[in-house]
Amino acid sequence: MDRVIRLGLLGCGTVGSGVVAILARESDDITERTGAKLEITRVAVRDLTRRRMLPLDDAVFTDDPAAVVEADDVDVVVEVMGGRDDAGRMIRRALQLGKPVVTANKELLAHEGPELYQAAGAAGVDLAYEAAVAGAIPIIKPMKESLAGDRVTRVVGILNGTTNYILTRMAEEGVDFRAVLSEAQALGFAESDPSADIGGHDAAAKTAILASLAFDTAVHADDVFTEGIEGVSLTDLRVADRLGYVVKLIGIASEVDDRVAVRVHPAFLAKTHPLASVRGSFNAIYVEADAAGELMFYGRGAGGEPTGSAVVGDIIDVSRNLLQTARGAVESQHRAKPIRPMEELATQYYVLLDVEDEPGVLAQVATTFGDHGVSIAQVWQEGSGGSAQLVLITHRAREADLRGTVTALGRIGSIRSVASVLRVEAEVFES
Amino acid sequence: MDRVIRLGLLGCGTVGSGVVAILARESDDITERTGAKLEITRVAVRDLTRRRMLPLDDAVFTDDPAAVVEADDVDVVVEVMGGRDDAGRMIRRALQLGKPVVTANKELLAHEGPELYQAAGAAGVDLAYEAAVAGAIPIIKPMKESLAGDRVTRVVGILNGTTNYILTRMAEEGVDFRAVLSEAQALGFAESDPSADIGGHDAAAKTAILASLAFDTAVHADDVFTEGIEGVSLTDLRVADRLGYVVKLIGIASEVDDRVAVRVHPAFLAKTHPLASVRGSFNAIYVEADAAGELMFYGRGAGGEPTGSAVVGDIIDVSRNLLQTARGAVESQHRAKPIRPMEELATQYYVLLDVEDEPGVLAQVATTFGDHGVSIAQVWQEGSGGSAQLVLITHRAREADLRGTVTALGRIGSIRSVASVLRVEAEVFES
């Protein structure tokens, strides 16, 4: 029981500090479970002069990540520095040296994940990345291990806490988007540059990682059709509520006829769907599999300690394997599956139109939908005069046809604007 | 890639058949992930004459479980026969022979789990049991591995699909308990003898397994305070709904001052709690941990394919380990932690009284609560004359005091009966 696994941390920000704190706090229990003491011997930081309130000796700090990776007294590399180029180089080098890697780097994996998994495979070394998607929520291991003998058919996630917090407050308190965002920024819940969150790009990166894993293929962040929540209005939320829906920013990945469909956008979700009850800054991932059926995983998607908890779980896994010269579960070999063009999506749509309150508008609108092969399920008018709005819910239609409809609607004089178009995800409803 | 892992199945009922079907269907992908072909070489069944529509050679079947365990051509034992004594003997023998075991046996583990984990530890052999709790839902691995470096403080589960189905239909359709139960039995959703389900004993067994794992101690099914849903009335559900609650049969385990509190009973849960949205026959487990915060795992708790999916995930895990002569994650060493007596619980209560509609009843009731140190948060009367009912919600009170109150209420002449007493789990609310 006197074996020691020596950890080298790349980065010591929010997540790194969480990892250090948890390892210190749970040291005895972890030793008991792994049969070895886990010791942090090296930590690479950007600014050596910054004081850190951590239970670590000053001598462990360096500002050279490469020195950590190369060090003889580092057995496992824990990459929590973020960013793409340097982090990717460090991870590749560590794998080459036969050192297992634990990473929380969603940006890197969303662009180079499948290549890195292959590099780990070639080196016969563990690369664990539970913390890269949805913080504390165990989702990578369940997909890679628990569902290893099953076939995942669809993944639907609420993967960004900031946008879910904003949408929840808008819906529950009637406060508009800008006001909630400013307040969230003031409280530190939202970044000062929130574009990656509210634009859906953060969720898209996580969706790419999940899609790659679920469908054994290489989905890159850029493959993900992405729309943010900037355009979601209080009217949209009110209409959704009245019809029995909530509005959520979701990432959806599915396999359809050997092609992968993958997209991130705000959508109407039925209130009875388990994802609809995910409020505030929580994340959740809903998984459909052939044998297991419907599964959902819920929890904190960010934060130093929640994300740190996932990193430490991975560290314990790879350490146990290292002690036994074994390797953990691996991804399936990748098949190159094409990405289905977004235009081929078929779903229901909600369309909100600002219109002149005059006779004949509805007829023109209905004709336009009909001309493009989009069938209307429900329609009603709200307000009158200068603030008249038409609300339409379509039957299932192709994205290409809906887009054609919207373009044509824009040309009708009595329509002042197409105020909103949101997808209605009836297809993921609980049966 | 031409290695073969030979599986011996004990039992071939619903779950066993699910395992056979999944292994046949996903054979190629599983071989790719494990680096070995998984082959079912022996299957012990009770009745050799029964025809089975399974892709297995007749020669694999035997009616002697011991022959499967002992067979030279069985590397991994998969116990899906159920029951306690025979199954326990077979598992112990397999571990002794150095053969990893996968089991779905909740009854056995709820009584002898910690002893069996120790036997596996002593033999240095894997004992995997994901399928023993909540079918397809990955909960054992996340608790044993993902949260290995974290500290679980509370587990709250909806662990029985039959009772959740009954409560959901009662609440949503206003059909009473007996009617829903009969219909569920006719449809095959409920057992012909449903007492283990509706009496809470099935949920108690699963809660015991989760509590043992979460708090590193030996909790037996008999340690779990258990109440079923037989007494839950439509009035209870209506009151709950009006106050913003749903009624669920929950298993709760927590660690309080080095003692384990563990109980199963129907309870009021806030509608905003993630567990409240778990409808129909679904299960879910809500976990609170120091670093990870709040987590929830949701899915199908029963059925051949869902449970089979979990069994196959375990088979792949132990096979990968076997090929590498490695061992998977283990439980922490057990500390003997006492069970906290139920009387010491402090929570809120809902009490429904059938009363005579006459002056002075409320005063008597209020005095009785006050005399026992139980403070009333809300009270109102429903109906009048022969069907008058008093509804009371208490502030947080001790179980012992509430029981004293109920006994005393029973002695008041103008109270015809104490119709319901249910716990209100405000303490597990989402903050």
Cβ of B300 and A293 within 8 Å?
yes
CB of B199 less than 8 A from some CB of A? no
What pLDDT sits at residue B150? Answer: 94
Pick from B27, B37, B296, B334 the residue to mutate for testing the A interface (most A CBs within 10 Å).
B296
Percent of chain A beyond pLDDT 70? 98
pLDDT digits (tens, 9 = 90+) for A181-238: 999 899 887 888 999 999 999 999 999 999 999 999 999 999 999 999 999 999 999 9
Cβ of A293 and B278 within 8 Å?
no
What is the CATH classification number for the domain harbouring A388?
3.30.70.260
State whether B290 and B155 are in the same domain.
Answer: yes
- Could you tell me if residue B333 is inside a domain? no
CA dihedral A114, A119, A125, A131 (to 10 degrees): -30
Taking a contact as any Cβ pair under 8 Å apart, which residues of chain A between 75 and 104 contact chain B?
none
Strand order in the sheet with A61-62: A61-62, A36-44, A3-10, A76-79, A101-103, A127-128
Amino acid present at B217:
T
- Residues in chain B within 8 Å Cβ distance of A130: 146
What is the pLDDT averaged over residues A24-46? 93
Structure tokens at A250: 């979701």
Q: How far away is chain B from the Cα of A14, in angstroms, using its nearest Cα?
A: 13
What pLDDT sits at residue A246? Answer: 97
What is the pLDDT averaged over residues A21-50? 93
- The answer to whether residue A386 scores a pLDDT higher than 90 is no
Angle, alpha carbons A165-A167-A173 (nearest 5°): 95
Q: Which of A192, A413, A160, A426 is nearest to A302 (CA)?
A: A160
Angle, alpha carbons A135-A141-A147 (nearest 5°): 135
Q: Which of B236, B232, B257, B254 is nearest to B245 (CA)?
A: B236
What is the pLDDT averaged over residues A392-421? 96
- Could you tell me if residue A331 is inside a domain? no
- Residues in chain B within 8 Å Cβ distance of A276: 277
- Could you tell me if residue B349 is inside a domain? yes
CA distance B398 to B346: 4
State whether A174 and A255 are in the same domain.
Answer: yes
- Could you tell me if residue B337 is inside a domain? no
**What's the pLDDT band for B431 if we cut at 50, 70, 90?**
very low
State whether B115 and B193 are in the same domain.
Answer: no
- Could you tell me if residue A158 is inside a domain? yes
Q: Give the closest of A22, A276, A298 to B296, CB-based.
A: A298
- Could you tell me if residue A335 is inside a domain? no
Q: How far away is chain B from the Cα of A381, in angstroms, using its nearest Cα?
A: 31
Q: How far away is chain B from the Cα of A169, in angstroms, using its nearest Cα?
A: 14
Question: Bigger pLDDT: A120 or B272?
Answer: A120
Q: Helix %, strand %, coil % for chain B, to 5?
A: 40, 25, 30
CA distance B103 to B144: 16
Q: Which residues contact A275 (CB under 8 A, 6 or more apart)?
A: A156, A158, A248, A250, A269, A284, A286, A296, A428
Whether the pTM exceeds 0.90: the reply is yes
State whether B284 and B179 are in the same domain.
Answer: yes
Write down which residue in A323, A357, A389 finishes a domain: A323
What is the CATH classification number for the domain harbouring B289?
3.30.360.10
pLDDT digits (tens, 9 = 90+) for B343-369: 999 999 999 999 998 888 999 999 999
Radius of gyration of the CA atoms of chain B, in A: 24
SS3 of B346, please? strand
State whether A198 and A78 are in the same domain.
Answer: no
Cβ of A30 and B325 within 8 Å?
no
Taking a contact as any Cβ pair under 8 Å apart, which residues of chain B between 203 and 242 contact chain A?
216
**Cα separations (Å) of B272 from B160, B243, B269?**
21, 12, 8
**What's the pLDDT band for B427 if we cut at 50, 70, 90?**
low
Q: How far away is chain A from the Cα of B49, in angstroms, using its nearest Cα?
A: 28
What pLDDT sits at residue B51? Answer: 80
Cβ of A299 and B303 within 8 Å?
no
- Supply the range of the domain harboring residue B420: 342-428
CB of A330 less than 8 A from some CB of B? yes
Q: ipTM of the assembly?
A: 0.94
State whether B92 and B233 are in the same domain.
Answer: no
Say how many CB pairs under 8 Å bridge A and B.
Answer: 217
State whether B68 and B176 are in the same domain.
Answer: no
Q: How far away is chain A from the Cα of B320, in angstroms, using its nearest Cα?
A: 8
Cβ of B305 and A324 within 8 Å?
no
Which residues of A are annotated as catalytic? 206
Q: How far away is chain B from the Cα of A360, in angstroms, using its nearest Cα?
A: 42
CA dihedral B176, B182, B186, B190 (to 10 degrees): 90
State whether B192 and B316 are in the same domain.
Answer: no
pLDDT digits (tens, 9 = 90+) for A321-350: 999 999 999 887 778 899 999 999 999 999
Cβ of A299 and B295 within 8 Å?
yes
Mean pLDDT (chain A) is 94
CA distance A423 to A387: 24
CA distance A327 to B126: 16
What is the CATH classification number for the domain harbouring A8?
3.40.50.720
- Could you tell me if residue B123 is inside a domain? yes
What is the pLDDT averaged over residues A69-96? 97
Q: E strand or H helix at B415, and its extent?
A: strand B415-424
B273 to chain A: closest CA residue: A277
State whether A284 and A413 are in the same domain.
Answer: no
Taking a contact as any Cβ pair under 8 Å apart, which residues of chain B between 19 and 38 contact chain A?
22-23, 25-26, 29-30, 32-33
- Could you tell me if residue B158 is inside a domain? yes
- The answer to whether residue B50 scores a pLDDT higher than 90 is no
Tally of domains within chain A: 3
**Cα separations (Å) of B11 from A149, A334, B411?**
20, 35, 53
Amino acid present at B128:
A
CB of A145 less than 8 A from some CB of B? yes
Q: Which residues contact A194 (CB under 8 A, 6 or more apart)?
A: A162, A181, A185
State whether A318 and A364 are in the same domain.
Answer: no
Q: Which residues contact A431 (CB under 8 A, 6 or more apart)?
A: none
- Residues in chain A within 8 Å Cβ distance of B173: none
- Residues in chain A within 8 Å Cβ distance of B299: 292-296
Q: Give the closest of B32, B289, B329 to A332, CB-based.
A: B32
State whether B276 and B315 are in the same domain.
Answer: no
- The answer to whether residue A51 scores a pLDDT higher than 90 is no
**Cα separations (Å) of B124 from A188, A253, A276, B153, B322?**
49, 40, 44, 29, 11
CB of B172 less than 8 A from some CB of A? no
Q: Which of B167, B173, B87, B163 is nearest to B127 (CA)?
A: B87
- Residues in chain B within 8 Å Cβ distance of A293: 136, 299-300, 303, 305-306
Residue with tokens 């900037």: A230
State whether A312 and A357 are in the same domain.
Answer: no
